Every structure is written in C-alpha cells, then in structure tokens.
C-alpha cells in the first residue's frame, strides 16, 4: 500500500465518494492516511463540480482510530513530530463541519476513537447494522483529546463521560436511538443510501445549501438572541438566491 492509494476517490455525478483504504489495518489513521483524508476533503471543497461528499472506509471497518504503530515515534523526545501530528489530526477532525459542502459518513464495522470523531463529525451518518462506535483510548493510556469536543456535543455530558471513561461501544441501534446516526441499513446497502442522501443534497441550490450549513453550526454556539440575529441576516440575504445554481 503506497501513500498515493490510501484514499480512493470516485465521483457519482456531483457526489464525491472518499474511501479510506487501509483495509488490512481497519483503516487506522496513520500519518499518510490522515493527510490524505484532509487533502481529499480540501480538494472536494475546492472543486466546483462537487456539490456533496460521502466519507467511508474500505473493507469491514470504517476506521479503527489512530494507528498505534506510530506511537513509538510520537514521544516527548520527538516533540516537533508530536505537535505536527496533533495539528494534522485537529485539522482533519474539524474539516467536515468547516466545509461549505454537505458530507455524510457511511459506517460499516468499527468507528473507533479518531474514526468515531470523523464519522460523527459529518453532517449526517449512515450506519450498517454491524456498526460499532466508541472511544476506548483510555484503555491504551491515551486521552481522547482531539475528539472530546465533538464527543460532548454529539452525546451530551453524562453519556460522553461514560463513553470516554469506560470505553463502552455503541451499536447501530443505539446510535439511531440517540439521534447520532440518521439511517441504519444492511451492510451491502449502506453506501448506496449514503450516495442517495448526497445526491439529494447535490440537487439543492448551492448558495442556499452553503448558507444553511454555515448558519446551522454558527447558531449552535451562540446565545439565543445572537443566533436569531444571525438567522435574520441570512433570511434577508437568501432573498437574492437564484432558483438554480
């Protein structure tokens, strides 16, 4: 496996599918794959022909989290490498929500640690009925620092602390019941469902979708009055959107 094919890209009309491709390692996030995911998301964002994105994994897992094989090099004695990797990981974890284009994750099998962060950080999530998601980092004496913000916001404080402190895994049914996953399907149907969702997004007015996604995440972090003000501003701007485009 070379660095060039750790991420596979295919287009379905205006939908771009990004597939993490280290199936023998359950798509664990080593530095080349982490960088490739970030580059792939940035390329999709910059491509005017792409209007929606699907993120998934090759093989029987979505992503097993950080590749622990690299940890022997990421030590206090190699602080520069530690900081570079932390910055890369933070950028890739924040990219799905900072994109103007909508993105759906399609999860089969395990989504663990950083993989769970990527899956839940997308705008929507489709899970196969064999999916399991969790944050077992403390079992390996690792603090799930770079996924903790998303973990709290997705699950709420009490459940989030349970997940990070015990390493308990959630199955597909629990993810749907909690409102974290949007759809549950048979494993063989999950990608098709994700592409169908993205295809629907791609038919939406691009400027309206961009404004809606931006406002959605902005108001989540604002006091009520400021959130309503932001909504009022976008409401006025959207009157100038064309019916197509």
Q: Which of 160, 176, 67 is nearest to 126 (CA)?
A: 176
What is residue 195's predicted lDDT score, i.e. its pLDDT?
A: 98
Query: DSSP secondary-structure letter at 169?
Result: P
Residue 242: predicted pLDDT: 58
Do the beta carbons of residue 17 and residue 52 sit within 8 Å? no
- Distance between CA 230 and CA 159 in Å, rounded? 31
For the chain, which domains are there? 3-202 (3.90.226.10), 206-240 (no CATH)
Question: Rounded to the nearest 5 degrees, what angle is found at the Cα of 105, between the Cα atoms of 28 and 201?
Answer: 150
Distance, CA of 245 to CA of 241 (rounded, Å)? 9
Paired tokens of 167: 């390493």
> What is the C-alpha to C-alpha distance for residues 97 and 221, in angstroms, rounded to an integer?
13
Distance of CA 221 to the CA centre of its chain: 19
DSSP characters for 20-51?
E--GGGTT-B-HHHHHHHHHHHHHHHH-TT--
- Going by their DSSP bridges, the two strands 183-185 and 15-20 should be labelled as unpaired
pLDDT of residue 233: 78
Please give the Cα distance from 55 to 49 (Å, whole number).
Answer: 17
Q: What is the pLDDT of residue 181?
A: 98
Residues of the chain predicted below pLDDT 70: 1-4, 71-79, 81-82, 239-245
Token reading at 176:
């749907």
Q: Are 8 and 19 in contact (CB under 8 A)?
A: yes
**Nearby residues of 132 by Cβ (< 8 Å), 6 or more positions away:** 109, 110, 111, 169, 170, 171, 172
**Amino acid 75: pLDDT:** 57
Q: What gap in Å lies between CA 214 and CA 217, rounded to an integer?
A: 6
What pLDDT shows up at residue 140? 85
Tell me the catalytic residues.
137
The pLDDT of residue 3: 63
What pLDDT shows up at residue 71? 63
Q: Evaluate whether 125 touches 107 at the Cβ level (below 8 Å).
A: yes
Rg of the chain over Cα atoms, rounded to whole angstroms, equals 18
């Amino acid at each position: 496996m070379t660095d060039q094919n750790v991420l596979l890209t295919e287009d379905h009309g205006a939908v771009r599918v990004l597939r993490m491709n280290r199936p023998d390692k359950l798509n664990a996030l080593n530095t080349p794959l982490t960088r490739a995911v970030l580059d792939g998301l940035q390329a999709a964002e910059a491509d005017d022909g792409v209007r929606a994105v699907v993120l998934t994994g090759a093989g029987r897992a979505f992503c097993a989290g950080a590749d622990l094989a690299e940890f022997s090099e990421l030590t206090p004695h190699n602080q520069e490498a530690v900081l570079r990797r932390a910055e890369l990981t933070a950028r890739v974890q924040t990219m799905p929500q900072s994109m103007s284009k909508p993105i759906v994750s399609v999860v089969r099998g395990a989504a663990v640690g950083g993989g769970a962060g990527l899956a839940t950080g997308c705008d929507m999530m489709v899970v196969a009925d064999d999916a399991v998601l969790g944050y077992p980092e403390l079992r390996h004496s690792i603090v799930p620092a770079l996924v903790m913000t998303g973990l709290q916001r997705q699950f709420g404080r009490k459940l989030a602390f349970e997940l990070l402190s015990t390493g308990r895994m959630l199955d597909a049914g629990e993810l749907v019941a909690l409102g974290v996953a949007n759809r549950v399907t048979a494993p063989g149907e999950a990608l098709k469902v994700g592409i169908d969702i993205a295809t629907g997004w791609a038919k939406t007015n691009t400027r309206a979708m961009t404004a809606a996604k931006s406002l959605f995440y902005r108001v989540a972090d604002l006091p009520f009055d400021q959130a309503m003000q932001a909504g009022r501003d976008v409401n006025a701007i959207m009157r100038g959107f064309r019916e197509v485009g």
